[in-house]
Amino acid sequence: MTERRRRTDHVDRHRTVRSLLDETDESLRLGARPGAVVWPTGFDLLDTTLGGGLRSGELVLLGGSEGSGKTTLAVQMIRNAVLGGRSAVVFSFEHEAQTVIQRLLGLEAAFAAEASEQPVSTAANAHAFRGVFEAEDPHRKGLAEALGRLAYGRAALTMMDGYAERLHLHESNSHTTIEEMANVVLTVADETGEPPIVLVDYLQKVPRPVAGEDEETRVTIVTESLKNLAMELHCPVVAIAAADRESLASGRRMRTRDLRGSSALAYEADVVLILASKEAIVSREHLVYDLGAAKVFRRWSVVTVEKNRHGADSVELEVQKDFEHGRFHPKARVVAERLIEERVFTT
């Protein structure tokens, strides 16, 4: 950072309340937003719970067991942001960029079928879209033509065309430093004129800033750095967090404390969402008297808002899975059944 930038930072950080009130007054007169920018997740009840959505400057942790749909939920939130005209950067340590695109095509095809009031099952799924990317095309007429052969494929591409310029995918790896991530976010912010929403998939894969540290120290440093990035660059940072192997093996309902690495995760985060398949955490009484219940619960995921700086926590919402199309149904509802607190019913 240059000397001049450092000096400007210093001046900007030290303000009187008078100057802040004056600035707020001026912003309101100009029709600008003086406070944090809110980014709706696109999941109605979740947005209500979070006071409108995710906020610039916030670190949002998204935890859950393996395969519970963390990437699916996060990518859908990002898609909803770019669909709404904002920009986004996805740092994917987990999946190749093409995998994210195939899932997005599946998602858009499903929404297109619904918009035409057709059953979602009629839309090509993510697997079919993957086929287009993986097979050699005998027709050789390009992407639009190849996708046009899939149900709602052309409509899915048209939807993606609407936000493709604003969605940035970064194939991250063990050499991707926090500084590099910050530079990418800054570049996108400069290009678009406003900070993007940021997704990190996933936090424990961000390489250690200092060699030789143990995992707890490393996760602490990475978590603090991501929170700093959110605050310095005025964007929401959604970080997927892996679960502790021990907590997964023990058959308990996953909680914030089970996120792998360190207690800093919970302290630094402004919002913590934990995702679980409903059948795994619903209380036993709902299963024993209704043998078909487990099958119904299997179709739903529970999003528990475990920490919420701007509203109620311990809120349990459920969303219906449509993993075939790389998405959840956006209409969330409050879980009506009793959920287990700790032990999972396993017999």
Ligand X SMILES: Nc1ncnc2c1ncn2[C@@H]1O[C@H](COP(=O)(O)OP(=O)(O)OP(=O)(O)O)[C@@H](O)[C@H]1O
Angle at 70 between CA 295 and CA 60, to 5 degrees: 135
Nearest distance in Å: CB 256, ligand X: 16
User: What is the Cα–Cα distance from 127 to 227, expressed in whole angstroms?
Assistant: 35
Query: Given candidates 41, 56, 71, 76, which one binds ligand X under the rule CB under 6 A?
Result: 71
List own/partner pairs for 305-308 with CB under 8 A and 24 or more apart.
305/46, 305/49, 305/50, 305/271, 305/272, 305/273, 306/255, 306/256, 306/272, 306/273, 306/274, 307/256, 307/266, 307/269, 307/270, 307/271, 307/272, 308/49, 308/50, 308/271
Q: Which is nearer to ligand X, 233 or 243 (CB)?
A: 243
Q: Which is nearer to ligand X, 323 or 345 (CB)?
A: 323
Q: Give residues 77-106 in contact with ligand X (rule: CB under 6 A).
A: 94
Among 29-37, 60-68, 131-139, 145-153, the segment contacting ligand X (CB under 6 A): 60-68
Q: Which is nearer to ligand X, 110 or 235 (CB)?
A: 110
Query: Given candidates 41, 49, 56, 72, which one binds ligand X under the rule CB under 6 A?
Result: 72
φ, ψ of residue 113 to 5 degrees: the values are -60, -45
Asked whether 284 and 345 are in contact (CB, 8 A), the reply is: yes
Please list the residues that pair with 316 across neighbouring strands: 304
User: What is the Cα–Cα distance from 223 to 219, expressed in whole angstroms?
Assistant: 6
The secondary structure element, H or E, covering residue 294 is helix 293-298
Query: Given candidates 64, 195, 236, 261, which one binds ligand X under the rule CB under 6 A?
Result: 64
Nearest distance in Å: CB 78, ligand X: 13
What per-residue string of b and e applies to 260-277 under the rule 16 or more CB within 10 Å gives b?
Answer: bbbebbbebbbbbbbbbb
Asked whether 343 and 251 are in contact (CB, 8 A), the reply is: yes
Q: Which is nearer to ligand X, 241 or 269 (CB)?
A: 241
Q: Which is nearer to ligand X, 233 or 274 (CB)?
A: 274
Query: Given candidates 56, 68, 172, 301, which one binds ligand X under the rule CB under 6 A?
Result: 68
Q: Binding marks (x or -) toward ligand X, 269..308, rule CB under 6 A?
A: ----------------------------------------
User: What is the Cα–Cα distance from 53 to 310, expressed in whole angstroms?
Assistant: 10
Among 19-27, 122-130, 167-175, 291-299, the segment contacting ligand X (CB under 6 A): 122-130
Nearest distance in Å: CB 67, ligand X: 3
Q: Which is nearer to ligand X, 72 or 225 (CB)?
A: 72
Among 63-71, 155-163, 299-307, 330-338, the segment contacting ligand X (CB under 6 A): 63-71
Q: Which is nearer to ligand X, 72 or 176 (CB)?
A: 72
Asked whether 306 and 314 are in contact (CB, 8 A), the reply is: yes
Among 29-37, 49-57, 59-67, 178-186, the segment contacting ligand X (CB under 6 A): 59-67
Residue 109, judged by CB atoms within 10 A of its CB (0-12, 13-18, 19+), counts as buried
Residue 324 interacts with ligand X (CB under 6 A): yes or no? yes
Q: Give residues 123-152 in contact with ligand X (rule: CB under 6 A).
A: 125-127
Among 20-28, 33-41, 119-127, 173-181, the segment contacting ligand X (CB under 6 A): 119-127
User: What is the Cα–Cα distance from 198 to 204, expressed in whole angstroms?
Assistant: 16
Query: Given candidates 45, 61, 70, 163, which one binds ligand X under the rule CB under 6 A?
Result: 70
Residue type, 108: E
Among 82-90, 110-118, 120-128, 164-172, the segment contacting ligand X (CB under 6 A): 120-128
> Does 202 sit behind a cis peptide bond, omega within 30 degrees of 0 on the bond before it?
yes
Q: Match 């719970």 to its residue by tokens.
A: 49
Residues lying near ligand X in the complex (CB under 6 A) are found at 64, 66-72, 94, 125-127, 323-324
